[in-house]
Structure 1
Amino acid sequence: MKKTLSLLILFTTLTGLLLIQPSQSSHAQGPIVASPTPYPGEFDFITFEMLGKSDKVMVGPYSSTFIRFGTPDSWYLESGAKIILDLETIVNSSRSLAEDATEYSGAMLEISMDGNVVDVIFLETGSQTIEIDVPKETLHSTRSDGRHSLQLYLDAAIDCLFDHETAVLIRSSSGISLPHHSISHQLDITRLPRPIYQRSSLLPEDALILLPDSPTETELQSAMIVAATFGRMTEGEQKISLTSISALTEEQKTNAHIIMIGKASSLPILNMVIFPTSTTGENATQEVASEEGVVQMALSPWNASRVVLYIGGAEDNAVIKAAQAFSSGALRAGKHSSLSVISNVADAIEIKDVPDDRTLASLGYETKTLSGVGYNSLDYEFLIPLGKTPSGEISFKLLYAHSAIFDFEASGAIISLNGENLGSIKFSDETANQVTELNINIPAYALKPGRNTLSIRAELLPLDYCSVLNNDGLWMSISEDSLLHIPLIDAGNTPTLSGDLSMFPAPFINSPSLSELSFIFPKDNILSWELGANLAENLGQYAVGKTLHLSAYYADNLPDETRENKDLIIIGQASQLPILDELAESMPAYFEKGSNIAIETNANITFSIPENTDLGYLELFPAPWDSSRSILTILGSTPLGLQWSQETLLNPDVKPDMHGDYVVVHAEKMYAVDTEAGLGAQNLSATAVPGEYPTLIPDTVPTTSYAYQQDWVITAIKIVSGMIILLLLGLIIKTTRKDRKNKK
């Protein structure tokens, strides 16, 4: 009996320790951050929150803030625009105001749109909602990016005259009403990616790639090239969906810009589109040979505020020509701005060389001045031609001047390129009232192919906030003679090897044109094709070649030349990918024929997991036929598991924890190990679905392994301990009854 009680105390103590022990949670994927809620087209009112702005506090005596936004090309702004401000003004004053003036704070708010003052309002203490009419003629952007700029300027001069403090809260529920009606887009292929993508638009519009129901490998390849092109044209901001003709929904027809890719004979839906310039039939206005590619734009027959972009031709080789020419982002228009006919890719594009030295004036910018109290900024855009890469020393010679009457210690300016800080300015008496030269070295990684944005952000703070000279006396000018020095050479390959998933997209971006990359897909699997397009869009941001040349094949038809000369990305469910059979011995975890559940050869214990279990798999390993070539598999036991794999691979929040060559994903949990380093002794597939298929963790598994630190281990021990306690209690009761009988 005593021995039994001792055992009970021991297990009770163990259970108590486990219950109070903090659990070690598995690594969860970071939450997918949604874009700001898009403006719903049936309403005219756009809140500041929809523009990504939070509540803003402005503090007197003087303060200013800017809100910038773009409108879709399909919007024609009408009269009746309004700015609605939801404000709260707080005043702290020792001065007694007249009884009839207690509601007036003594401060004013100046509202400007695109540099034009539209109203000045007197602020009352407490909360108030103010509605300001915006004349139509003031809604005219003067910025190079086409965005509108709303400025709010607080003038609380009363804070300078008396013992008085003013603060104004601009709530994010404030906004602007923009009455409009939809108009047809300008059909000009030389302006692509507009109108499909418009930077900083209030209302991002969907884009959809439409393929034939049974696309050829060339048509599928063309779709991947087009997706990658949108990635580099829009810096990954325009998300692309993909579907086939039979899967196209009425909602997609109505809401999306549709990019039709393939042979004209494979896309019967093309007959519903009325192109301004016909290339087929008796009414053809421009003859196109069967081997020539076509890039053509028309208004959508399902929604006049959307467009249809056709990239194709009569034959497969014509389709690929059209896609590669489109990838240049520099198409030549034909007789009509909506059409480009491609006989030869090199002749169909127009990429202009640029000099090594470019002044701001040569980029189209005059000398500009920042003035007034507080923060302000200037942006300068310039291009790095596709196919070129920086070489040698890169620099920016900034010529600037500034006034001498602001607080040099508290003020300053920062120079950045594409969000990367390059340098800063410390103002002084020595630099005041003269042109000063500042030379800034630019690291090559700060530049990118296509459009680049150089920003100068300044904060000018006065010596005396109450000086009447603050508005005009605080200034900084940027000379148009400031000079960018960027020597360029033709882009070449940059070979890298990586066996670590956390290093993705390496090694799949070694070639500037992605020519060393092939996607491998199952047949008749739209989800795999769409995930491939999403991945191509991501990789396109790193491609600097003049045109893109990535390829795509079906898993049952991989040419020997591709095996030997390409890195492969294989996407789908294992049972639909026969190529995995010959890769089995090289994979961190292989798949039996017809199965979608991985078999982990390094695991000490193997569990049987039902085929319908949702799991995602990522594996990175050298090709068995050439160790200098890499293969990435993005797999799923189910379609949902396949989507989890893709989301995890592209999720920057989890990238630091993806060290290794093998990852298993289940819902929001990710398990990563490096099988080459011997950190794969546990069965990750079973670990990913705790409770049903518990995994025994051997003593040899390092505690640093991500899969080791899981809540299910604690849970399993608690369950087992509880069962033992119940058995012991039953034993105690039985023993006690037996003792009583013996006493009787």
Structure 2
Amino acid sequence: MNKRSSRQSRQSSTSQIWRSRLLLLGGIGLFTTLAIILTQKPVPQVSAQASQRSAVNQLFKLPTTTAIAQYRPLSVDPIPSETIAQATPTEPAKPTETPSEKAAEPKSKRPLSQYIVQFNRSPIIGNRFRLQGVYAESQFGFTRPRQWELKSAKATIRYQHSPALVPEKSNLVIRVNDTSIGSAPLNLKNAQVGKVTFDIPLNLLQDENQISIVAQQQNSPTCSNPDDQTLWSEVLSDSEIAFNYAVKPIDLDFSRYPFPFFDEYGLDSNRISYLLPSQTSESWLTAVSRFQTNFGRLAEFRPLETVLIKDLKKLEWNDRIVVIGTPSEQPLLKTMKLPYKLVNDRFVDGNNTPLPDNVGVAMLATLNNGEIPAIVVSGNGAEGVAKAAQFLIQPSNRQIGAGTAVIVSDLSETPSPAPREWSHYLPNQDNFQLAGLTGLDNKPFKDKTVKGTSAAPVQVHFRALPDDRFLRGSTMNLKYSYSAQVDPRTSNVSVLIDGVGIGSRKLDSDKGGQNESLTVDLPPNLIKSNSIIDVAFDLYPKEAAQCGYANDQQLWGTVHGDTTFNLRRENSVELPDLKLLTTGFPLASPQDLSKTAIVVPDSPSESDLMTLLKFSERMGRLTDAKSVKVEVFKTGSLPEGTKKDRNIVAIGTRDRFPVQQAFETGGFQLMDVFGRGLGQDRIQTLPDSSGVIKSVMSPWNSDRVLIALSGQTEKGLQHVQDILAKDNWFYQLKNDTVLINANPQSATTFDADAYQLQFLDQAERRRIENVSPLSKARRFLEEQWFFVPLGIIAAALLLYGVAQLFLKRVAG
């Protein structure tokens, strides 16, 4: 019994030992397996299923922290090729330095450059800057680029004046931002040219600056007649302001975007360089068109230079590189140092997991050792690229951006504005206040006060919508106030539209007036899409001027923002008309261009693409909305629904023109083998380098238009680009067709005779309106007025016949 128990005990202890060993080995194996799994990096799986997973409310693993991209421009600015102003950067200044100064300087001190701004770059000055009278003042505005670190600034004024001036009582005063920086006596003889130079204190300079030149002139030791024509001085247009500056390096950050790609305070043209993709897809065309439209909105009136580049090798000093497209469309992305890595032509997050195709990524980088900034708008799919582009275009989304890389997972749809909701134009309501309009600075109007006898008028935009047709009975109820001590016999307030007076009233109280009113009728024929209303105060003191000096600075007049307007108008317009295109209509209705589509050839050339960019930029300058929704299609993929629903803009030369219907309808026609047609006429020209802009009614929708930007050759398309880019040519467009012929003797497109424009008006027009039958009858009688006397005669004869018939029956 004891032996059996002992044997069982030994067997039990042995089994426990083996069980313990097995558990220990299993634990070691499990620990080893877990360690291998945790330390092994996941292999990127590039699968359609992974790339298409939902990105809504999804956060991605960020890459490891990398160095912030720092933009360090060249210290030497080469002279740009062609600018509208005669102001160009020069070679960097080389100030003399003592050995001790050199030793004290840090090694990283930035060299100085010099930039000269001549007065003739201002269209107000031109070639003549004349100051007339006893006291005369004129201003010249200039900006300070954001990246400049100013070291010194000097104003050099070249002038001449009338020899009749008394030197002891005549002088020239220079002010910068209302602070005097110096004066010079007007003591030259025989209209000699004088030259004075003044240092400008750097603490006076801001982002936006104004230099004022004040001439105090006397031609008599006792008393001068202010109307004497010998009281004059002229500041020559080659006067200049010279800046010595160093360029500050900046850390690229989306919180500062669009700077440095666009600087609203820059003195040179902003230059945008788009990197061409390996293949031009419709998604790339749409994204680049929207991007350029946004730059046009940012530029407004400022010059903008756009180029297309094929690689990143030969870059200019002022290039700002824009790379749009997927990694497969832009192979050069592999050569750039970017925050997000590329694995197998796909962007991956910090876990080396490919981003979904519907997720966009926007990144900032530099090229050429930090000298050229670049922005990358990309994603692993077309939907992602579109999201990234839309993020940078829409201000409501862009304002939350930060850092050098942004992943765009989801964007809310920005609703389109109403078709008649146009910024800086008249409100859609017929009753509104002056506070609802904008001044010439495009800012909402607020109560404004002017002072003195020669006060400038208060000006506001009064731009009619392109399809507005004004009727009689529109009124303006002006609310104004004025100071005491005015002379009621000679002082008055006047209202003008585009320089044409429409009403005035004398200021009949020498004690002043508060919140007085003046109601004037607004003539329908004077209100246009570029109209300006002037409210001018003619203020004269009760006491007469003595020796040309009038005590008038205590006199003031104020225009109040609660001035009201009551308009009578209807919506009626005739299409096609290229004159309406100068306002953007009908393409810009609504302002986000959601009812406009652009069509290019299936394989667009660089000329086609550049025409697309120039047209998009022009539409950006003409519109203002919270988004851009224009779409670009190729010839073979234009949907039927888009044809019927949208205005179409077709781009291309005659042999590859994407919408042949534009030249098959009435009016001017471009035909094969350099053929031209007009009505029944047919000719052939050799060579034919003319550009053509033509507008016809859409063959798919009688309420839409079809616009052709074309030519027989790519040279013709270049002429179209110049017309779209230059304001002085673009705003001449009219009728339904314009033929553009270049003058080979002209040195630059800014010359007044650079192009010869021939306007044709052959297309059949259609009236688009939303009016009552009574309004239609009234308009018919206004336009066909000769029917009125005929109708009166016919009615009289009819009544006479009826009367005679009645009399005969009574007599019988």
Both structures adopt the same fold (TM-score exceeding 0.5): yes
Give the structure 2 partner of residue 293 of structure 1. 360
Question: Aligned letter for 2:595?
Answer: E
Identify which of structures 1 and 2 has the higher relative contact order when contacts are C-alpha pairs closer than 8 Å and 6+ apart. Answer: 1
Q: Which residue of 2 aligns with 1:250?
A: 314
Q: Against the structure 1 CA distance between its residues 550 and 618, is the aligned structure 2 distance closer, same or farther, given a 3 Å change threshold?
A: same
**Residue in 2 that maps onto 1:210:** 275
User: Under a length normalisation based on structure 1, what TM-score does the superposition of the two structures give?
Assistant: 0.66
Query: How do 1:173-572 residues align onto structure 2 when only pairs under 5 Å count?
Result: 173-184=238-249, 187=252, 189=254, 193-199=258-264, 201-235=266-300, 237-246=302-311, 250-252=314-316, 254-270=317-333, 281=348, 290-296=357-363, 298=364, 300-302=366-368, 307-334=373-400, 336=402, 341-346=407-412, 370-371=450-451, 374-375=454-455, 400-402=481-483, 404=485, 409=490, 428-430=507-509, 433-437=512-516, 464-466=544-546, 473-476=553-556, 478=558, 482-483=561-562, 498-504=575-581, 505-522=584-601, 523-572=603-652
For residue 155 of structure 1, the aligned residue among 192, 216, 220 is 216
Distance 2:704 2:457 in 1: 46
Alignment partner of 1:119 is 2:194: no
Alignment of 1:99-110 (within 5 A): 104-110=167-173
| SS of structure 2 residue aligned to 1:173 | coil
Cα distance, 1:152 vs structure 2: 1.8
For residue 48 of structure 1, report the CA deviation from its aligned partner.
0.9
Rate the CA distance shift 1:606–1:47 in 2: closer, same or farther, 3 A.
closer
Asked whether 1:44 is paired with 2:107, we answer no
Distance of 1:40 and 1:411 partners within structure 2: 49
Classify 1:601/1:92 alpha carbon distance in 2 versus 1 (closer, same or farther; 3 Å). closer
2:715 is the alignment partner of 1:644: no
User: Cα gap change, 1:124/1:414 in structure 2, threshold over 3 Å: closer, same or farther?
Assistant: farther
- Structure 2 residue corresponding to 1:89, chosen from 138, 145, 161: 161
Separation (CA, whole Å) in 2 of partners of 1:188 and 1:357:
41
Task: Give the match's secondary structure for 1:266.
Answer: coil
Structure 2 runs not aligned, ≥5 long: 1-81, 92-113, 462-473, 744-754, 766-812
Q: CA RMSD in A?
A: 5.2
| Structure 2 match to 1:137 | 203
Report deviation, 1:338.
5.6
Relative to structure 1, the CA distance from residue 194 to residue 513 in structure 2 (aligned partners, 3 Å threshold; closer, same or farther) is: same
C-alpha change, 1:205 and 1:507, in structure 2 (3 Å) is closer
SS in 2 for 1:556: helix
Contact residue 328 and residue 547 of structure 1 kept, 8 A: yes
1:409-437 CA-partner distances (Å, limit 9, x unpaired) = 48878799xx9999998673527645445
SS in 2 for 1:73: coil
Deviations 1:335-360 (A, max 9, x none): 62666554443379999x99998979
- Aligned partner letter, 1:87: Y
Please say if residues 157 and 466 of structure 1, whose CA atoms lie closer than 8 Å, have aligned partners that are also in contact.
no
What per-residue deviation string (whole Å, max 9, x for no partner) do you get for residues 136-190 of structure 1? 11223xxxxx420111222346747246864322111212122212224575656
Contact map agreement 1:373 1:474 (CA 8 A) in 2:
no
Structure index of larger Rg: 2
Confirm or deny: 8 A CA contact 2:396 2:626 kept in the other structure: no
Change (3 A) 1:478 1:502: closer
The 8 Å contact of residues 231 and 238 in structure 1, kept in 2 or not, is answered as no
SS at match of 1:179: strand
Matched, 1:61 2:140: no
Alignment deviations for residues 514-567 of structure 1 (CA, whole Å, 9 cap, x no partner): 222211112141111111111122223444543221111122332233233232
CA-CA distance at 1:221 after TM superposition: 0.9
Change in CA separation of 1:239 and 1:45 when aligned onto 2, cut-off 3 Å:
closer
Give the fraction of aligned pairs with identical amino acids, expressed as a percent.
Answer: 16
1:614, distance to aligned residue in structure 2 (A)? 2.3
Q: Which amino acid aligns with 2:690?
A: L
**8 A Cα contact 1:377 1:455, kept in partner:** yes
Residue 703 of structure 1 corresponds to: none
**Conservation of the 8 A alpha-carbon contact between 1:74 and 1:182:** yes
Q: Distance in 2 between matches of 1:457 and 1:540?
A: 33
Distance 1:196 1:499, change over 3 A: same
Give the SS at the match of 2:214: strand
Residue 634 of structure 1: which of 676, 701, 709 is its match? 709
Query: Cα deviations across residues 284-313 of structure 1 (Å, max 9, x unaligned)?
Result: 9999754233445x4643496764333343
CA contact (8 A) 2:164 2:219 kept: no
How far is the alpha carbon of 1:637 from its aligned partner? 1.7
**Are the equivalent residues in 2 in contact too, given 1:528–1:572 (CA < 8 A)?**
yes
Aligned to 2:735: 659
Letter in 2 for 1:153: V
Residue of structure 2 equivalent to 1:76: 149
Is there any run of 5+ residues in structure 1 with no aligned partner, and where?
1-32, 94-101, 141-145, 382-392, 488-493, 679-744
Say whether the 8 Å CA contact 2:171–2:183 is kept in structure 1.
yes
Report the secondary structure of 1:120's partner residue: strand
Distance (Å, rounded) in 2 between the aligned partners of 1:415 and 1:496? 26
Letter in 1 for 2:411: V
Shift of 1:269: 4.0
Give, in whole Å, the separation in 2 of the partners of 1:49 and 1:540: 28
Q: Is the 8 A contact 1:405 1:473 kept in 2?
A: no
SS of equivalent to 2:575: coil
Q: In the alignment, is the contact (CA less than 8 A) between 1:596 and 1:638 conserved in 2?
A: no
Measured at CA, do residues 235 and 364 of structure 1 come closer, stay the same or move farther in structure 2, by a change above 3 Å?
A: closer
2:216 alignment partner AA: D
Cα deviation per residue 1:633-687 (whole Å; 9 max; x = unaligned)? 2222221122224445777658768534574746544444445579xxxxxxxxx
Name the counterpart of 1:723. none
Counterpart pick for 2:235 among 170, 178, 181: 170
Q: Residue type matched to 2:710 in 1?
A: L
Equivalent AA in structure 2 for residue 69 of structure 1? F
Mapped to 2, the partners of 1:475 and 1:131 lie a distance apart of: 35
Secondary structure of 2:636's aligned partner? coil
When structure 1 is superposed on structure 2, of 197-206 and 340-349 the one drifting more is 340-349
Match of 1:691 in 2: none
SS in 1 for 2:607: helix
Deviation (angstroms), 1:209: 3.2
